[in-house]
């Protein structure tokens, strides 16, 4: 099994100040890393504290530095080697479910489910499998997804709801959380076809569990469903998040190649510019096949391109807040 040489920690404001003090008095050489409060090079270790509060420790000496410095002087607790003490259920057989593309104007909604047991969890920890939101490089996310798939074999499932299907479903359901529940249920059912004895499924909290329960079919009726905020700390959910993100990124590339326009992620001004270019090339109906039509962005780009929603009759009605989540769940 490979030795892990990269660790990521989310630090509180107080812990960040302790880390800055520690790095300031240590034998480190400052380096320039974008979006960091401080980044340094030490003896076989690189340490970066990002403005978000994320601390990344990398290098051959990462494990020793975390064990002998970060844990006692900053975290105030021993974590390495104690993952199963802090969260004993994480290494027990279960599946994690997560999605990607929910807040992106272009592209599909992708839901993935991944199965783990104690052996798989150990391998994922050695590979530093983590929540895809902490991975800033698309290539790194896709490479990690390939490694996860190799470890899991057939023990994962991916459900992709392309823009055309997404717009039809939203036109009927008129609720993103209902669509998420349907996608989670399908991913769970598909994975249960491979690991029928899996006792539990865990996902991030996006709504009441009864929505998923109602969408489950016969195989899924016997599984225990859990939802919790920040579920991506669980190794199965983290793996599912990476698989879902890689599926979304690849689908976006395919979609862009099909229509001859590079499609940006998110819903920024750059996204609107690409949408206007798409409409100029293919007409307003192209939004049905490329975007999530209930986003207010659809109205804005149609207006910029000199068209109206009336010209795209099957585009679902605009929703000014298309991906509201409960306060207990992560921001979109």
For residue range 121-138, list pLDDT tens digits in order.
989 888 888 889 888 899
Whole-angstrom distance between the N-terminal and C-terminal Cα of the chain?
35
pLDDT of residue 85: 44
Separation of alpha carbons 309 and 307, rounded Å:
7
The answer, yes or no, to whether residue 3 has pLDDT greater than 80, is no
Q: What is the reported pTM?
A: 0.74
Residue 221 phi, psi (nearest 5):
-65, -20
As a dihedral over the C-alpha atoms of residue 65, residue 67, residue 68, residue 70, rounded to 10 degrees, the angle is 70
> Which of 109-123, 220-234, 317-331 shows the lowest per-residue confidence on average (mean pLDDT)?
317-331
The predicted-structure confidence for 39-55, as pLDDT tens digits, reads as follows: 999 989 999 999 999 99
Higher-pLDDT residue of 135 and 245 is 245
Separation of alpha carbons 205 and 253, rounded Å:
29
pLDDT of residue 323: 43
- Which sign, positive or negative, has the C-alpha torsion 253, 258, 261, 263? negative
Q: Looking up tokens 């192209």, which residue turns up?
A: 286
The predicted-structure confidence for 162-206, as pLDDT tens digits, reads as follows: 999 999 999 999 999 999 999 999 999 999 999 999 999 999 888
The mean pLDDT of 85-110, rounded to a whole number, is 88
Tell me how crowded residue 31 is: count the other CB atoms within 10 A of its CB. Answer: 13
Mean pLDDT for the chain overall: 88
Helix (H, G, I), strand (E, B) or coil at 262: coil
């Amino acid at each position: 099994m490979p030795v892990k040489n990269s660790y990521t920690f989310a630090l509180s404001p107080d812990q960040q100040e302790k880390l800055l003090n520690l790095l300031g008095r240590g034998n480190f050489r400052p380096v320039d890393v974008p979006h960091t409060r401080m980044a340094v090079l030490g003896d076989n270790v690189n340490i970066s504290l990002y403005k978000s509060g994320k601390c990344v420790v990398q290098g051959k000496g990462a494990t020793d530095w975390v064990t002998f410095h970060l844990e006692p002087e900053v975290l105030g607790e021993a974590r390495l080697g104690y993952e199963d003490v802090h969260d004993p259920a994480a290494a027990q057989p279960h599946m994690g479910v997560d999605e990607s593309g929910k807040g992106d104007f272009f592209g599909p909604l992708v839901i993935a489910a991944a199965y783990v047991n104690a052996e798989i969890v150990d391998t994922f920890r050695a590979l530093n499998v983590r929540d895809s939101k902490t991975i800033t490089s698309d290539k790194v996310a896709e490479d990690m997804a390939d490694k996860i798939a190799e470890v899991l074999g057939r023990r994962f499932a991916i459900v992709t709801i392309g823009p055309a299907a997404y717009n039809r479903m939203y036109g009927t359901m008129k609720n993103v959380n209902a669509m998420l529940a349907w996608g989670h249920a399908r991913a769970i059912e598909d994975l249960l076809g491979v690991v029928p004895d899996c006792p539990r499924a865990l996902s991030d909290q996006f709504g009441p569990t009864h929505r998923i329960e109602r969408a489950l079919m016969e195989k899924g009726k016997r599984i225990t469903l859990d939802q919790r905020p920040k579920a991506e700390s669980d190794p199965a959910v983290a793996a599912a998040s990476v698989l879902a993100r890689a599926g979304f990124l690849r689908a976006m590339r395919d979609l862009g190649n099909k229509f001859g326009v590079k499609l940006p992620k998110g819903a920024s001004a750059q996204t609107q510019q690409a949408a206007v270019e798409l409409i100029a090339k293919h007409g307003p109906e192209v939004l049905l096949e490329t975007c999530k039509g209930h986003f207010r962005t659809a109205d804005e780009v149609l207006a910029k391109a000199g068209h109206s929603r009336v010209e795209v009759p099957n585009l679902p009605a605009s929703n000014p807040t298309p991906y509201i989540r409960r306060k207990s769940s992560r921001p979109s």
